[in-house]
Structure 1
Amino acid sequence: MKQKKNRIALVGNPNAGKSSLFNQLTGLRQKTGNFPGVTVEKKSGTFRLTTPDQGAVQEVLLIDFPGIYSIYPKSADEQVVMNVLANPSHPDYPDAVIVVADASNLQRNLLLFTEIADLGLPTVLALNMLDIARSMNQEVNAVPLAMQLGVPVVKINARTGEGLAHLRQAVQQLLDHEKAALPYFFDPSETQAALIEEVKESYQLTNNYLALQYVCQHDSFAFLDQPRRARLDAFIDKHGFDQTDFLARETITRYERLKPIVEKAVKVDGFGAQPRWTQRLDRVLLHPVWGYLSFMLILLVIFQAVFAWAQYPMDWIDAGTASLIGWTKEALPAGVLNELLTDGLMAGIGGVIIFIPQIAFLFALVALLEESGYMARVMVIMDRMMRRLGLNGRSVVPLISGVACAVPAIMTTRSITNSYERLLTILVTPLMSCSARLPIYTILIALVVPEQTVLGVLNLQGLVLFALYFLGLAAALGSAWLLSFFIKRKETSYFMLEMPTYKLPRWSHVGITVYDSVRSFVVEAGRIIVAISIVLWVLASYGPGDRMEAAEESVRARMAQEAPDVQEAAVSSVRLEYSYAGHFGRFIEPAIRPLGYDWKIGIALISSFAAREVFVGTMATIYSIGGDASEDAMTVKERLRAERNPRTGGPMYTPAVSYSLLVFYVFAMMCMSTLAIVYRETRGWKWPLIQLVYMMALAYGAAFAVYQLMS
């Protein structure tokens, strides 16, 4: 029987460096999922406690919990922590806990540590950001701190990996040697002895502080059924327990007891303050005018870079894929298998991998902003604007995360404690242009926007891409403002955020972020795209009855005098038109014709409801099937450019059609996964359906207006 790995919980305040430490310890041996029973994301990974030259290597499972300031939750993300730590039968219950503390703000960070330690869990305190503390004229001595706290205290640098060997050793000792229970920092039985004893006896508990959590948090404990919660309510009434007053006294008591401990461990020379260069940067980046302009300039640089830097590798991949498809067609015997492999599978894969460079560059640049500490400044400056629209500064995180993918972005709204603002954020986040839209944007922009610079530096295609992302942001904020008139506010809103100091990015962390993002796109989105490409090939290669064969014979008879390549192109086109896919496209064509779209684009629109990025793969498959055999080596972009409008004889993808499609995809809710996560987060179909209707109406209306104005 395989031995179960020891589980180590990684807990800490937001911005304490917990994620950096997780990446340092686990490297690429990590995975994401959800905590059992909830949709809160869980990151877990393995790391080794000993090195090979020290003997046997023991691998343990490290679980990265959501960042919290205290074990008393204020959001759905934070509730997960106590649902695990208060329930020894939970599959993620840890054998030991690493509490990551920001050494530059030690007293506040130690509040969480004392709460975790009082739960009776074996704990290691990892002191991070010592360099920041030194820049603020603070020197932290780990030895007196460890003696006073009674737990191992290890100095680390989560960004460089310094001190990790000592941290592994401390964790190993915790697992190998059972330690006596530490005295409580705060013992609730000192003032509530009868209540605590009754709860311990009724629920078979041995820890006083854990018994207090049953009293205070039982309504949010998923592992307690209703009768057991009702019994705790009866205990509260019986003993006249005032939770608000008690928790206030607990917090004050903990800080009073921590103050002398911190004074002994931390030496302050002069006045501790944020580094001078941090203060100088904040004067600009938090300024009510320059702050917004700086943010817009940074976004503009990002989208310029995405186009300028990614264009060359994209062209290589596109040309290489087209050449490989052409070579494969020539090398394999003609037939159904050849066509399935080249026009179906390889065309679908080509529609995925061509966008890897742009996605990699985009996520790398966003990760740099997060690593540097700038994203917290964005939340602060945007809070001023967002309050007028019904949101608050914390809504920035889901909105910016929506640039990657709306599904995890909507999940991050759990950090918004106000239910009104959380719902508004959920409803408008899908309007942010996610990475699934990027393939559509780039292929269509490349068709109609020339490769030239403006003012000698700005790439015109990058400017259009920036405009599309900005249009999505403007639509999200505008929609939030309009929806705020129809959704009733029931709670008072507040916004508090600890401002981190600026830091140089840790390149390994950025690399892991890029790797995870690209892998997610290729594996998750790629599976959908390839599967739909194969299904589309089948639907586009076969049709009902013998209509395809009859149409083919008619074309061959009518064009018997034409050149073979012209004849084959006409045959391919008519076969596609009379296929199952063609019949479906013809069925919906009247509804989309006012937007300038034909039945082929209609097929792509419908297929992209599974995932937006399927659009390009669908077009690659359709035009591979319906194209001329002599054009096998053409890239996807060249095939779109060569497509003709049967009614006008001119190019199909005119500026009017292309910009109409671009605007349609800016606003359209074409992602079943997003609808599913909104259903889970709002616990019903009411809001997902409202979201689907208003976004599709907005997309259709905007695309119609653009096409009519430009044609």
Structure 2
Amino acid sequence: MRRSYSIALVGNPNCGKTSLFNALTGLNQRVGNFAGVTVDKKTGRTQLPSGEEVQIIDLPGTYSLYPKSNDEQVVFDVLLDCANPDRPDMAVVIADAAALKRNLLLCTQIMDLGIPVVLGLTMIDIAANKGITIDVPELQRQLGIPVIALNPRKNKGIGQLKKALEDVHSGKYPSLRKDFIDIEQLCGSWIITASEIAGCATLYGAMQICCQLPEVSFLNAAQRIQLAALMGESKFHKSRIQAEEVLLRYRNISEILKKSLHEDTPRQKSLRSERIDRILLHPLWGNLVLLTVLFLLFQSIFSLSAYPMDWVEGAFGHLGGWLSDILPQGLLSDLLINGVLAGISGVAVFIPQIMILFGLITILEDSGYMARISFLSDRLMRSVGLNGRSVMPLISGMACAVPAIMAARTIQNKKERLITILITPLMSCSARLPVYTILIGLVIPEQKILGIFNLQGLVLMGLYMLGFVVALIVAKISNLFIRVKEKTFFLMELPVYRAPRWKNVGVTMLEKAQIFVRDAGKVILIISIILWGLSTFGPSEQMKAIDQKYETLKRLRPTEVARLNADMATEKLANSYAGKLGHSIEPVIRPLGYDWRIGIALITSFAAREVFVGTMATLYSVGDTDNPDASLRDKMRAAKKADGSPMYTLGTGVSLLLFYVFALQCMSTLAITKRETGSWKYPVIQFLYMGVLAYLFAFGAYALLS
């Protein structure tokens, strides 16, 4: 079967590449991994004006073909290896019009690889604000490739881009120039022999392979030996060749831009982003603004979600009560109400908070402020042996640790990358949010501090900040033990401030809610049904003895049948298979203030932290004949210890909160850590140190507050 025509999107970070990919492919996308490496490969399909469908590959962002991270190495391998299955037939290079000179470096490098190129200019409006005017037809004539002005956010220029892609694909737009720089003159005639050995179609491809020879994975042993010998004979000096290449390219680019770009003097235009950054990146005011933003974020999560959560909780409570009234008593109705419905309610009630959290994070990202958080945090990160590049995985960890750990691939320094992976799970992810919400609502009073601040929101922010502070401490300690002398510097381009795309915010909120319901909901529902079975059934002899005991008591005390039914349900639950599992670990967790029910939830939530809520919903629903329509919080609030005292005191609640701040209750996180580090050593270290922290903090909290 013939491979479909493929087009790669290439560009610097923050150039609008992802927006263009979404505009071209719409919902026709899928995510996988590039062959042999754990780097995300986003592919999709789009239709050209002729009706032909072509494949679009979104390559990771890079500034040049000199890789400094795993993501950039992927770009190098895909473009240089002619046998790579992902090598594109054409490349669309997306360039920021406001920083065109720097962006054209990568563009001209790809042109010299012999790959047909179309240049897409984004952020034309921002360039205009800077006083930059680009003569697109002249730039196209000078480069000898199609140049299209684009605004993917507003879907402008997409039709012209597709027409240009079709023209290049069909041969209607032949290449008008050869090499952008003379590679043979730069390197010497030996580069011709090198291209023959490496099997490269261009001299520039051979030069790049020689520069990156130790990291090149697609050459065989004979090719490596021959190239190394040839480079030795020719006295090839990688750093000198790279420096001279870049200087030559920028010299030619400058000549082109003199004819196709006009720039007003800086005083004529003042970019709004620069004025805002004087405050938001200030060492003092910037950090105060950051703390205020985080404070408002966590206050909003509780304040904005209160009403929809109450509505959802009330709706499920009434539905449970209604089903109890109309369905005949029996195992099937018990499974439906106390297994399936209890599990679904444990998922649905937290959808408003999940949507609000991701909506607010999307606003921060879309506005350009999230990148400023990395910049502000660089000094703090360096004090613990990391740099500002580690901040993005840590912030991403507030959503989910799995993609956050994968995001650490962009960190060039191996030591900093490893430490970042080890501490990222200490950031409170969205899976912890349902646990925090149910426990904070249970033991923290809903009151105002100073008349305006929500106490529950303050506690929630405190839990997130505690995880971050302890992550910094662990990073500092790890920095002392992991010995790597490699030094790195944190360089990043700050995107301009923009108004958030509210459609994008809404789509993200719905998408994350769907993912939560589909992924977490599926696990919670399955475990809820299994738990219902384990909580309903037990050793037959013991269950039969309990039935006989209470049948006798009912005959002797006919006026106390309702209370005896409740006592029988409680005793059956305690002697069920789930009860026995909980009782078996109770001696270990009793010092933390937990009973056997909480013990079961700790075990089941190892699959996913949010399963804690579904587990508690099932355990407190099975055998509850008195209040079938009561909410989970009401049932937990009414729970008693063996001595009749309340189960969920302030000490127990805070102990549980701290346990879930630190415990690595997530199989997926362990799996992704193993995949990213290539060893089970680091997941084991991660699990053990976080488990010890969780136990010690929980023990201390219960001892102090009980």
TM alignment of 1:468-479, pairs within 5 A:
468-479=463-474
Q: Deviations over 1:167-212 (max 9, x none)?
A: 2222222233375454111342334354433333234332222222
C-alpha spacing 1:273/1:528, structure 2 compared with 1 (3 Å): farther
The amino acid across from 1:628 in the alignment is D
Match of 1:20 in 2: 19
Q: Does 1:160 align with 2:157?
A: no
Match of 1:145 in 2: 139
TM alignment of 1:547-566, pairs within 5 A:
547-558=542-553, 560=555, 561=557, 563-566=560-563
The amino acid across from 2:671 in the alignment is A
C-alpha spacing 1:16/1:688, structure 2 compared with 1 (3 Å): same
C-alpha spacing 1:598/1:280, structure 2 compared with 1 (3 Å): same
Match of 1:169 in 2: 163
Residue aligned with 2:480, SS: coil
TM alignment of 1:196-211, pairs within 5 A:
196-211=191-206
Q: Does 1:620 align with 2:617?
A: yes
Q: Does 1:73 align with 2:67?
A: yes
Verify the 8 A CA contact 2:566 2:624 in the aligned structure 1: yes
C-alpha spacing 1:341/1:423, structure 2 compared with 1 (3 Å): same
Work out the CA distance in 2 between the residues paired with 1:273 and 1:234: 56
Residue aligned with 1:173, SS: helix
The amino acid across from 1:204 in the alignment is G
What runs of 5+ residues in structure 1 fail to find an aligned partner?
Answer: 51-55
Match of 2:591 in 1: 594
TM-score of the superposition, structure 2-length normalised? Answer: 0.95
Verify the 8 A CA contact 2:98 2:123 in the aligned structure 1: yes
Q: 1:494 aligns with which of 469, 489, 493?
A: 489
Work out the CA distance in 2 between the residues paired with 1:274 and 1:471: 44
Q: Does 1:413 align with 2:408?
A: yes
Following TM superposition, by how much is the alpha carbon of 1:677 offset from its aligned partner in structure 2, in angstroms?
Answer: 1.3
Following TM superposition, by how much is the alpha carbon of 1:417 offset from its aligned partner in structure 2, in angstroms?
Answer: 0.9
The amino acid across from 2:316 in the alignment is T
C-alpha spacing 1:608/1:189, structure 2 compared with 1 (3 Å): same
Match of 1:83 in 2: 77
Match of 1:646 in 2: 642
Work out the CA distance in 1 between the residues paired with 2:168 and 2:348: 46
Following TM superposition, by how much is the alpha carbon of 1:90 offset from its aligned partner in structure 2, in angstroms?
Answer: 3.2
Work out the CA distance in 1 between the residues paired with 2:536 and 2:226: 66
The amino acid across from 1:392 in the alignment is N
Following TM superposition, by how much is the alpha carbon of 1:322 offset from its aligned partner in structure 2, in angstroms?
Answer: 2.9
Work out the CA distance in 1 between the residues paired with 2:568 and 2:411: 58
Q: Does 1:457 align with 2:449?
A: no
Verify the 8 A CA contact 2:404 2:424 in the aligned structure 1: yes
May I ask how many residue pairs the two structures share in their alignment?
703
The amino acid across from 2:585 in the alignment is I
C-alpha spacing 1:273/1:640, structure 2 compared with 1 (3 Å): farther
C-alpha spacing 1:506/1:21, structure 2 compared with 1 (3 Å): farther
Verify the 8 A CA contact 1:9 1:62 in the aligned structure 2: yes
Following TM superposition, by how much is the alpha carbon of 1:568 offset from its aligned partner in structure 2, in angstroms?
Answer: 2.5
Residue aligned with 1:299, SS: helix
Q: Deviations over 1:519-538 (max 9, x none)?
A: 32222222222222222222
Q: Deviations over 1:340-359 (max 9, x none)?
A: 33322332222122212111
Following TM superposition, by how much is the alpha carbon of 1:442 offset from its aligned partner in structure 2, in angstroms?
Answer: 0.7
C-alpha spacing 1:599/1:7, structure 2 compared with 1 (3 Å): same
Work out the CA distance in 1 between the residues paired with 2:560 and 2:30: 56
Tell which deviates more after alignment, 687-696 or 446-455: 446-455
- Root mean square deviation, CA, Å: 2.1
Match of 2:41 in 1: 42
Verify the 8 A CA contact 1:136 1:272 in the aligned structure 2: no
Following TM superposition, by how much is the alpha carbon of 1:612 offset from its aligned partner in structure 2, in angstroms?
Answer: 0.9
Match of 2:120 in 1: 126
Residue aligned with 2:608, SS: coil
Work out the CA distance in 2 between the residues paired with 1:225 and 1:456: 71
Work out the CA distance in 2 between the residues paired with 1:710 and 1:119: 67
What runs of 5+ residues in structure 2 fail to find an aligned partner?
Answer: none
Match of 2:574 in 1: 577
Identity %: 49
Residue aligned with 1:235, SS: helix
The amino acid across from 1:442 in the alignment is T
Q: Deviations over 1:432-457 (max 9, x none)?
A: 00001001001111112223332333
Work out the CA distance in 1 between the residues paired with 2:549 and 2:230: 86
Work out the CA distance in 2 between the residues paired with 1:413 and 1:273: 40
The amino acid across from 1:450 in the alignment is P
Match of 1:439 in 2: 434
Q: 1:188 aligns with which of 167, 183, 192?
A: 183
C-alpha spacing 1:317/1:233, structure 2 compared with 1 (3 Å): farther
Work out the CA distance in 2 between the residues paired with 1:269 and 1:549: 90
Work out the CA distance in 1 between the residues paired with 2:86 and 2:617: 45
Work out the CA distance in 2 between the residues paired with 1:507 and 1:59: 30
Match of 1:135 in 2: 129
TM alignment of 1:170-569, pairs within 5 A:
170-177=164-171, 180-181=174-175, 182-192=177-187, 194-226=189-221, 228-271=223-266, 275-558=270-553, 560=555, 561=557, 563-569=560-566
